[in-house]
A = this chain, B = another copy of it.
Amino acid sequence: MKDNNDMPGHLARRFQQIAVAVFLAEVGDAGFDLTPVQYAALATIKANPGLDQVTLAGLIAYDRTTITGVIDRLVQKGLAERRASRRDRRARELEITDEGRRTLRKITPAVESAQRIMLRGLSAKESEDLMRLLHKAIAAGNELSRAPLREAQA
């Protein structure tokens, strides 16, 4: 009888569960209230100023219906802004605010610490191997979810 714990799907769920808990704990201890999802979105907005929501969703592999709420919360916290685009009146252009930039800067040590903690059971080489294998599995399965990773358009 195959144990749940031998199924890659179950292991994926558990690892993610721990990763989120560690992230929230580290970031919370540092005095911030930001989820992993919100952090990734904010960092990506900062790196690609003026991008629209669909592009943002593609860059971090979120569903486009999920990104709406995530941006709502970033805007509500004063970390990002959503403006109507003049080139395409359907689209919204996203910008990070000064407050958002400050938050990102101050939160970085906690985020890096979280990444270390969630791999604390592994040696440096093992961590590297795990990341490489996850990368490879994800690349092969990219198109299988509704929210695949998409490169930015030129």
Q: Which A residues have a C-beta under 8 Å from some C-beta of B?
A: 1, 4-23, 25, 36-37, 40, 43-44, 47, 59-61, 111, 114-115, 117-122, 126-127, 129-131, 133-142, 144-147, 149
Copy total for this chain:
2
- The answer for the CA separation of A20 and B118 in the assembled complex, in Å, is 21
- The answer for the CA separation of A131 and B137 in the assembled complex, in Å, is 12
Are A121 and B144 in contact, CB atoms less than 8 angstroms apart? no
Are A140 and B120 in contact, CB atoms less than 8 angstroms apart? yes
Chain B residues within 8 Å of A25, by CB: 144
CB distance from A51 to the nearest CB of B (A): 14
Are B121 and A18 in contact, CB atoms less than 8 angstroms apart? no
